[in-house]
Amino acid sequence: MTLKDMQHTFHQELDVLYGKEEVDSFFFMAIDALYHVSRMALALKPNYTVDDFNPILNVLELLKQEKPIQYILGETEFCGLPFKVNGHTLIPRPETEELVEWILSEFNIQNSEIKILDIGTGSGCIAIALAKKWPKASVYALDVSADALKVAKQNAALNKVEVAFIEADILGMQGKIPSADEPRLKLSELKFDIIVSNPPYVRELEKQYMKPNVLNNEPHLALFVKDENPLVFYKTITEFAVRNLSKNGLLFFEINEFLAKDTIQLLVANHFTSIELKQDIFKKDRMIKGVKTGD
């Protein structure tokens, strides 16, 4: 059997579930991760074979069970950087890459010694991508999940960046971080130039529209909010930003497309200015930016 034969088997077994293009994507991700064979290498050598097909057969079996390929392989790519992922972290998505690109374009000073806080960091993808691009920035990343933070710390080391990780619940805000000046400096005492968050925003009522591979595998703690209070994280983070953003500091959110107007109104009510709403590549309302005026 060759890898090309295996690709044909992938299509036979999976096209009904995922469609031809996505199955091709899964296959090439798998052979790259398992055998270090790129799509181009296979195109140049179509009779390529390997000694042990069991690893990719295992991937095939898990894909048939609708396990996300990123969790199966334990890795993914975000903003051109490698990231470890597991069931304790959301899989970084293209929409979130767009959010990072927006932040970079709005604060286009690579060597600026700014302070950034990422709330609900998960795998650390936003914080680490910003730290990689802005090596002189002081980047902090908060999450309520100790298990997610373990992955985020691995990703910071993998990408050779410094990020101060904080285990805390933003809704309870008891997080503290080590400091050279004070052993346990309160997060609430710091001022930031940028606060960014991709918090839980999917309402329980929206579960019925979600794909099984997301609903049955990704952490619900990072996905869902109660129907009766869907902006709970946005409200808390916005109020925190009022207190902890520097003058003219920027607040960025990834948002629920169905709650864009409500989220904008929340920023307006908290006296943010220059509020902008951006759509993602799928033409869905997905990102918001606001500027804090005053001290």
What does the pLDDT read at residue 190?
87
Successive 10-residue mean pLDDT values, the chain, 295 residues: 96 96 96 95 94 96 96 96 95 96 82 87 97 94 94 98 92 62 65 95 89 87 91 95 94 97 97 96 96 83
**Which residue bears the tokens 């096209």?**
15
Strand 138-143, strand 115-119: pairing: parallel
> Can you say how many angstroms the Cα of residue 207 is from the centroid of all Cα atoms in its chain?
19
What does the pLDDT read at residue 198?
96
**Rounded to an integer, what distance in angstroms lies between the CA atom of residue 222 and that of residue 89?**
8
What does the pLDDT read at residue 183?
46
User: Do residues 98 and 286 make contact, with C-beta atoms less than 8 angstroms apart?
Assistant: yes
What does the pLDDT read at residue 142?
94
If we measure between CA atoms, which residue out of 254, 260, 263 comes closest to residue 235?
A: 263
* C-alpha distances in Å from residue 31, one per residue of 2, 57, 72, 79: 12, 11, 13, 21
* C-alpha distances in Å from residue 111, one per residue of 127, 128, 132, 134, 284: 16, 16, 11, 6, 33
What does the pLDDT read at residue 193?
94
